[in-house]
Structure 1
Amino acid sequence: MTARNLSFTITRTTPPDLPTAIRTAVTANARAFLDPPIANLGHRGIAKAAHQVTRWLDRSSDPSRDLPQAATLMERGGTGGSLFRALYRDFLAESATIVDDENLRLGHHLYADIAPLWTEVAHHITTAGETHDPTHLTHAATLLTDLAARERHAMQVLSNL
């Protein structure tokens, strides 16, 4: 969640130990993903979305507007889809050039496979809104179920740096 009206001033004069900072950040992120404080976050949130997405046509008063908008946010904004996964994939790739760790390299490869699947989920959600065909939401649910398992595995790997 965002912290409103919060800013930071960085005053450190010496560069941080990047390998230690990367290990600390990746491990903390993985552990938070694996054990989220509420069911809407992490792999539990993805699994929850998989169970709910099939009802989105019925829950929306304007599916032609709402579902493509939700898919756009998933694809291009926030942390709930492919935008974050593509950024994280690239961060892991760059991190692997700094930290020589097999789990980090494996995590990068896993996220390289995961990121495009979120684009596919967004496509199915958009198409469901445009066509009002619930089959696309069923496909999105299947992908989300798979993504919950894949991301859980990837974060288990990354929690062991």
Structure 2
Amino acid sequence: MFDTMTLTKATAGVCSTFLVFLLGHWAADVLYSTDAHGEQSYVIEVASAEAATEVEEVSFEELMASADVAKGAKVFKKCAACHKLEDGVNATGPSLYDVVGRTQGTEDGFGYSGALAGRDGSWTAEELDAFIAKPSAYASGTSMSFSGLKKQKDRVNLIAYLDSLDD
């Protein structure tokens, strides 16, 4: 049952498998070695970070002047789940009717979090832009869970739309 020939065949099979793996390893080293190929035949040059073209800064007033109210209405769909546009109609968030120019934290019938209730000043276009960009950074501790709008063009269009609602 267990004779010398069976043991020889099993040993030969293990050694052959080991030999195939060693030859495969050697072939992979030869094919994929980075030292064996020498220098690169050509170099692709890329512009350095210092030589990158600078984007010219556009003032906030120019952005507001070029804002698109129709695009702002589309952006408002992200806000519509929590905010209403009717005067005095609050939902999860306060009514946004006549919000541009309104004193912060003063919408009748809405319970503001302490972070916004204690703020002074009014909702100017610049203040709204800063708030909509990232509410948690503008008013630390606010209960508004919205992460914000990253694109300034979207924020400007939204502010122009909100400002157009109250004539």
What TM-score, normalized to structure 2? 0.21
Higher helix share: 1
Higher relative contact order (CA 8 A, sep 6+): 1
